[in-house]
Structure 1
Amino acid sequence: MKRFLLTPITLLILASPILGFNPSDVDSLLKQVAKQKERIICNRCDLSAAKLPDIDLSYADLRGANLSRANLRNADLRETDLREASLRDANLSYAILRGAIFCNTILPNGEISVKDC
């Protein structure tokens, strides 16, 4: 019986690096989005491969965040601070990026933007 219980737990532990994102970082981000009372701050968060379509992250502070392979389709990223963030292979289709800050930001195509440095 113990073997049957340990196997699923072991698989979950081993699979977490495969998922990419840090579940507590995603949870913290979503709680801040739900409150929308203060500026969202998620510096150096690991949100890689997170599914965040249609999310409102306008004016958020995402400096140094790992958003590689994240699904940000239709996301509102107006005025978002993305300095030193990684957006490599992220889905930004139809995302609003007006006023977003890019400085040493890795873009989805792998290029580094220094537009706002």
Structure 2
Amino acid sequence: MQSSIQHLIERYQQGERIFHGLDLSGCDLSHLQLPEIDLSYSVLREASLVGTDLTWAILRDVNLTNANLTQAHLHRANLRRANLTTANLKQADLRAADLSGATIANAIFVDSNLWGTVAPDGVSPLQRP
């Protein structure tokens, strides 16, 4: 599994951003810098993304069940229809992220920044000037 992560990082550093349909279940991607990555349709069940920079990332239809996203940077990330069941998003930066259609059953959002986030029902719960 480590070799596939290393391969992903190398391709990302070479400028590639689209990585659809990967299975990174259980992988440790903590503290990586991956802004604007497109992991649509990927599986990251029980993956560790602690402190990972996923600013402007496209995570449409991604399975993040039981993933650890503590302190992850998800500012303006597209999480449409993502499965975040039991995911840990403590202290995550979700400002202006799009969670339209996402499954968030039992997800943990303690101390997360949800300003301007589009909730699963399509409503932005924190509309502030």
TM normalised by structure 1 equals 0.69
**Residue 77 and residue 44 in structure 1: after superposition, are their counterparts in 2 closer, same or farther (change >3 A)?**
same
Distance 2:111 2:21 in 1: 24
| Greater C-alpha radius of gyration | 1
Superimposed CA distance per residue, residues 52-92 of structure 1 (whole angstroms, 9 cap, x where no aligned partner): 10000010000000001000101000000000100011000
Counterpart position of 1:109: 121
Counterpart position of 2:102: 90
Counterpart position of 1:24: 19
TM normalised by structure 2 equals 0.63
Cα deviation for residue 113 of structure 1 reads 2.4
Letter in 1 for 2:28: A
Which structure 1 residue ranges, 5 or more long, are not aligned?
A: 1-21
2:78 to 66, 70, 94: 66
Counterpart position of 2:28: 34
1:80 to 88, 92, 101: 92
Letter in 2 for 1:94: N
Cα deviation for residue 23 of structure 1 reads 5.2
Q: How many residues align?
A: 93
* RMSD of aligned Cα (Å): 2.6
Superimposed CA distance per residue, residues 28-66 of structure 1 (whole angstroms, 9 cap, x where no aligned partner): xx5xx6043562100111101111100000100000000
Indicate the structure with greater helix content. 1
Counterpart position of 1:10: none
Letter in 2 for 1:24: F
Which structure 2 residue ranges, 5 or more long, are not aligned?
A: 1-16, 33-50
Cα deviation for residue 24 of structure 1 reads 2.4
Matched, 1:43 2:55: yes
